[in-house]
């Protein structure tokens, strides 16, 4: 009943994170009934394919390889921040609170999905750190089980190099009300308390 080219488009769209079969169908039908959007999407996809690169140093996505962060001489070359995804790098950059270098893992360790240290580039991180100016590695990974497993593994490989390894503070988000916090968050916030 559904024309094959449309079926193929829906199948491709349904592989996009956050898109199930139904949302892929909605998006495909929307594009077919709004040809201007379809043409713009076609042009944007071609431009993105042509003009963006993965930085071979940090794995971020940028206009050039190496990217503008890796080549910025005004940034601190002694601190490396390790994040899971490019979106995490962008979020930390938006905060304006970090002026060091980055490494994007592209995933977390996962026994179920067969993702081991090699898949997230642990050997690449270590070769970047050996004989470098880096004196601190910040593990800015999520507080999930996989995030913490990954952080422990990376920390255990980096510490023998004599480089300090730190993680982000865990605790109350800005504007949080204490009686709305879950026990885990409150417990971390108490452990991470500091003088005022």
Encoding tokens for residue 89?
């790098």
- Pick one of 9, 10, 55, 104: the residue that binds Zn ion (CB under 5 A): 55
CA distance 84 to 104: 6
Instruction: Using the minimum distance from each CB to Zn ion, give the nearer residue, 27 or 70.
Output: 70
Residue that has been written with the tokens 């507080």 in this structure:
143
Min dist. Cβ of residue 107 to Zn ion (A): 18
The reply to whether 70 sits near Zn ion by the rule CB under 5 A is: yes
Pairing of strands 101-104, 53-54: unpaired
Would you count residue 67 as binding Zn ion (CB under 5 A)?
Answer: yes
The verdict on 57 binding Zn ion (CB under 5 A) reads yes
| Pick 55 or 158: Cβ nearer Zn ion | 55
Q: What angle do CA 151, 97, 155 make, to 5 degrees?
A: 15
Instruction: Give least dist CB 108 to Zn ion, A.
Output: 20
**Binding of Zn ion by 80 (CB under 5 A):** no
d(CA 11, CA 5) in angstroms, rounded, equals 10
Per CB under 5 A, the segment of 23-31, 65-73, 92-100, 153-161 that binds Zn ion is 65-73
Report d(CA 84, CA 107) in Å as an integer: 5
> Would you tell me which residues interact with Zn ion (CB under 5 A)?
55, 57-58, 60, 66-67, 70
């Amino acid at each position: 009943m559904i024309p094959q080219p449309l079926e193929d488009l829906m199948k491709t769209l349904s592989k996009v994170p956050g898109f199930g079969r139904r949302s892929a169908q909605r998006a495909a039908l929307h594009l077919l009934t709004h040809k201007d959007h379809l043409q713009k999407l076609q042009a944007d996809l071609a431009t993105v394919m042509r003009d963006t690169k993965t930085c071979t140093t940090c794995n971020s996505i940028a206009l050039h390889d190496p990217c503008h962060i890796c080549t910025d001489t005004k940034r601190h070359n002694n601190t490396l921040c390790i994040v899971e995804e490019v979106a995490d790098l962008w979020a930390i950059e938006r905060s304006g609170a970090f002026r060091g270098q980055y490494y994007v893992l592209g995933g977390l360790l996962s026994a179920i999905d067969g993702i081991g240290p090699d898949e997230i580039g642990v050997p690449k991180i270590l070769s970047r750190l050996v004989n470098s100016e880096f004196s601190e590695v910040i593990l800015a990974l999520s507080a999930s089980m996989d995030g913490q497993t990954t952080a422990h593994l990376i920390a255990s490989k980096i510490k023998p190099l004599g480089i300090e390894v730190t993680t982000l503070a865990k605790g109350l988000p800005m504007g949080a009300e204490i009686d709305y916090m879950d026990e885990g968050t409150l417990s971390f916030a108490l452990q991470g308390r500091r003088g005022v």
